[in-house]
Structure 1
């Protein structure tokens, strides 16, 4: 740690306090990150950050990125991108707002890792997470776009002994009793040796809490002010309904469910909706919102509905691309709203 010693006089000359602080920050950055990150990358990050702060945009997989690129809303500075741990963080503007965009990759680990990289390395003011997802709610359908009020990780549970007499659930009124979903019915529910699943909350480290002390949390909220501003989208954004079975709409303030599960089972879909009252299912949102909240950043999740998570009929056409485009349209208008209200 001898490299952290900084003298105010260098080469016999007095160094200003601002220069000294900048030098110290640079040294702290160098010693606090992996030695595998090249010096050239660290210097590039420093140059990018000097032009910030930025609004961070985080999406998931190639079809969403393709819609984002095709929309032409992103004016990229192609010389300023940063390649870090296999991901490319792209720098530019949307509606004149400075942004850093990254595609995190599918799943909760990827989502949390990319969010933490944004928090650790870049000069950001908040994170807007966007992408497509599945609908669990009969009120929202193909091509609709949901702005999430809160989201839970519904893959945090105890798989109980089927002979257990008491519930362990912390967050639902009922366990998932797998035997209830025999189709066709075969005897009573206790005959299924898969037993029961009891849900519980995440272990969360609050940004202003006691160090190394976690608390149990089920729901992670989008930033209240941003959610309030997003309510304007219901009346202003224009979505494409071409080829959809209904007119596409924006829905603000619904609950989301996240798990590393491709949800194609109607019985489980019904259980999640009945117990959690969740309208949207994906594999990343809770990780992004939880990680952002733990670092004290403003955050919101915007998800378009491309399928019905197990309720789709056989032969249903894919609405992925039109939904991805609608999601980007909502993103575009939301960034403008943030800018108009001094939030970006």
Structure 2
């Protein structure tokens, strides 16, 4: 899976034996990728689009694992553009409540609580997810990447070389790295704001943020399907010294995410 066309273009080389199907306006293409049978498709940008297309794929194809490749905004100040982050946990940081003003702060209704520091009026609160073996909603905030898939990602992380210049010869100032583990968060907005970026890092201990991964992770959890996401930083979510650099480094980031995903698929046993 990828969210939008520039991300999936990086995965087309070597994708063979393609057969395409259209379901509810979404194109799903089956074929061979790094010696494995796959179905490849675009989720669409945003949590809702990603959740809908993931469930659509699970309902119509025999899906053994869900693997996401794409770009993201960097949150951890130790990371740089071009780095690839393979988060172990994904949460929805903008799902919750807008609390009412109370003196110099904001107060949640008495029946609500949050495990995280608020961002002004906004408090992150999970609202639960149902699945077949649960009698009532599971109110977890974090949805985990599959441990076995993370282990494969860790194994290959030392063997791959990432790009540090794009096709227009715009180059990074630091060689990109692959980072496996830690937290990632997703929400329904594109972030280019240093204050929100700092909040996400300090409150959620997040390395990266995007607009799809946590939604896909929740659908994977509800369907008991292993999940992992490879997200390469195209920008710093408002933390850079100048203007947002996504347009400059989007193709490089998408390529780096695809390099790691390609190596990961090739390393799978079946």
Fold shared per TM-score above 0.5? yes
1:315, distance to aligned residue in structure 2 (A): 4.6
Aligned to 1:337: 267
Matches within 5 A, 1:216-231: 216-231=139-154
1:68, distance to aligned residue in structure 2 (A): 1.9
| Aligned equivalents of 1:316, 1:162: Cα separation in 2 | 32
1:254, distance to aligned residue in structure 2 (A): 2.3
1:207, distance to aligned residue in structure 2 (A): 4.2
1:296, distance to aligned residue in structure 2 (A): 0.9
Runs (4+) off by over 6 Å:
none
Aligned to 2:30: 91
The answer to whether the 8 A contact 1:255-1:278 is kept is yes
| Aligned equivalents of 2:156, 2:148: Cα separation in 1 | 14
The answer to whether the 8 A contact 2:185-2:206 is kept is yes
Q: 1:93/1:283 Cα in 2 relative to 1: closer, same or farther (>3 Å)?
A: same
Aligned to 1:175: 118
1:313, distance to aligned residue in structure 2 (A): 2.2
1:238, distance to aligned residue in structure 2 (A): 1.3
2:14 is the alignment partner of 1:73: yes
Secondary structure, counterpart of 1:232 in structure 2: helix
1:61, distance to aligned residue in structure 2 (A): 0.5
2:134 is the alignment partner of 1:209: yes
The answer to whether the 8 A contact 1:73-1:95 is kept is yes
Secondary structure, counterpart of 1:64 in structure 2: helix
Secondary structure, counterpart of 2:252 in structure 1: helix
Q: 1:316/1:88 Cα in 2 relative to 1: closer, same or farther (>3 Å)?
A: closer
Select which of 46, 60, 69 maps to 2:3. Answer: 60
Secondary structure, counterpart of 1:115 in structure 2: helix
Deviations 1:300-321 (A, max 9, x none): 1110100000112225651111
| Aligned equivalents of 1:261, 1:83: Cα separation in 2 | 28
Matches within 5 A, 1:1-344: 58-69=1-12, 72-77=13-18, 80-163=19-102, 166=107, 168-172=112-116, 174-177=117-120, 196-210=121-135, 213-242=136-165, 243-315=171-243, 317=245, 318-338=248-268, 342=269, 344=270
> TM-score, normalized by length of structure 2?
0.91
1:166, distance to aligned residue in structure 2 (A): 4.6
Tell me the matched-pair count: 258
Higher relative contact order (CA 8 A, sep 6+): 2
The answer to whether the 8 A contact 1:76-1:90 is kept is no
Deviations 1:46-103 (A, max 9, x none): xxxxxxxxxxxx110011122222xx131142xx211111111001111210000001
| Aligned equivalents of 1:255, 1:207: Cα separation in 2 | 27
| Aligned equivalents of 2:194, 2:76: Cα separation in 1 | 12
1:197, distance to aligned residue in structure 2 (A): 1.8
Aligned to 1:38: none
Secondary structure, counterpart of 1:328 in structure 2: helix
> TM-score, normalized by length of structure 1?
0.72
* Unpaired segments ≥5 residues, structure 1: 1-57, 178-195
| Aligned equivalents of 1:162, 1:315: Cα separation in 2 | 33
State the structure with more CA Rg. Answer: 1
| Aligned equivalents of 1:166, 1:88: Cα separation in 2 | 45
1:202, distance to aligned residue in structure 2 (A): 3.5
| Aligned equivalents of 1:300, 1:207: Cα separation in 2 | 22
1:332, distance to aligned residue in structure 2 (A): 0.5
| Aligned equivalents of 2:156, 2:195: Cα separation in 1 | 33
Deviations 1:115-146 (A, max 9, x none): 10111110111110111000001111111101
